[in-house]
Amino acid sequence: MKTPYKNIYNVLKLNRFIILAVVVCALLSSTFSVWMVFNTNQKALNSAFAINTDGSIIPLKLVTQKENFRVEALAHLDMFHNYFYNIDASNYERNLEKALWLGNSSVDNLYRQKKADGVYNRLLQYSLVQKVLSIDSRISENDGSYGFTTTIIFEINRGTIIDTYELVSTGNLIMVDRNFPNNPHGLLITNYFENTLKKLNDES
């Protein structure tokens, strides 16, 4: 007795069903895998881990990291502007040297420009005292990069005359290795620029 042949169309339908089932399973598996990778990546971005003294793992949230960065950034900007603008004939070289550790070539270029313009020579010649009265910095974040705008109020004491000025500066902050005591916050000022400078008042 001969074995009857199966209907070729039934065989093709079965093969097509099997192929479609495999493709659908592969797509579902791939989609699930991508979702798992994305979810794991998001959790990793939002959390960091530190080892406690007893060996346990402590989760540190990204929010806390950003808050810590903000504190460090404000302290860094305060330190820089104090060193760069709070100067007199006796301390300007020492203060400016410290300020240059806190910024990149944009700060160095501004320093060289001021030096070429005779700013520091006048400081020595007339025994001027430039004193910072207040520093107000605002930090902004855009796609992982940090910018700042700082308003400095300072006065220049010419002995019998005291002039008060407002300076607005801008720039960016990048993270670098800490270098104590030269750069304790591990940040570097880039693209530094003095935007506006205006005299507020004169006092005799």
Question: Using CA of residue 98, residue 104, residue 108, residue 110, what is the dihedral sign?
Answer: negative
Which residues of the chain fall short of a pLDDT of 70?
1-7, 9, 11, 41-65, 202-204
- 96: nearest Cα among 126, 123, 69: 123
Q: Return the pLDDT at 204.
A: 43
User: Is the peptide bond between 184 and the residue preceding it cis, with omega within 30 degrees of 0?
Assistant: no
Q: Return the pLDDT at 49.
A: 56
Q: How far apart are CA 46 and CA 106, in angstroms?
A: 33
Q: How far apart are CA 23 and CA 13, in angstroms?
A: 15
Beta bridge partners of 137: 150
What's the pTM value of the predicted model, to 2 decimals?
0.69
Q: What percent of the chain has pLDDT over 70?
A: 81
Query: Could you tell me the residue ranges of all domains in the chain?
Result: 62-200
Fold of 62-200: Nuclear Transport Factor 2; Chain: A, (3.10.450)
- pLDDT tens column, 12-50: 777 777 888 888 888 888 888 887 877 776 665 555 555
Q: How far apart are CA 96 and CA 84, in angstroms?
A: 6
Q: Return the pLDDT at 114.
A: 96
Q: Is 80 exposed, middle or buried (0-12, 13-18, 19+ CB in 10 A)?
A: buried
